[in-house]
């Protein structure tokens, strides 16, 4: 009787420890995600899908954006290799 109670207690402890580990690792990965978001990706509120013939300059003119703003919300964008259907950020904050 005492033995089986012990087993149940051990099992309960084990489950609690595993649950704790899962919670901690989830919290940690969320923190890393927040940090990464702050470091690199600017937040984008509106996107525009590139159509045939579009250029970065054309898109900035279409939406009255300054190139500085456009560059800041589209980091790492290579304007010489735009492709149709590519999403460009046209509103947001860097």
What is the residue whose two structure tokens read 């087993």?
7
For residue 8 the two structure tokens come to: 């149940």
Is 4 among the residues that bind ligand NAG (CB under 6 A)?
no
Nearer residue to ligand NAG within complex by CB, 4 or 78: 78
Contact range with ligand NAG by CB under 6 A, out of 5-13, 16-24, 44-52, 75-83:
75-83
Question: What is the C-alpha separation between 57 and 75, in angstroms, rounded?
Answer: 15
Burial (CB count <10 Å: 0-12, 13-18, 19+), residue 73: buried
We find the least distance from the C-beta atom of residue 94 to ligand NAG, in angstroms, to be 19
Q: Tokens 């904050």 appear where?
A: 93
Write the binding mask 26 to 65 for ligand NAG: x where contact by CB under 6 A, - elsewhere: -------------------------------------xx-
């Amino acid at each position: 009787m005492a033995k089986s109670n012990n087993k149940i207690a051990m099992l309960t402890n084990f489950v609690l420890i595993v649950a704790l580990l899962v919670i901690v690792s989830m919290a940690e990965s969320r923190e890393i995600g927040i940090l990464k978001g702050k470091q690199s990706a600017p937040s984008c509120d509106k996107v525009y899908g590139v159509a045939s013939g579009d250029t970065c300059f054309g898109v900035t003119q279409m939406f009255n954006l300054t190139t500085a703003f456009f560059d800041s919300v589209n980091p790492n964008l290579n304007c010489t290799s735009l492709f149709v259907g590519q999403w460009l950020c046209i509103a947001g904050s860097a």
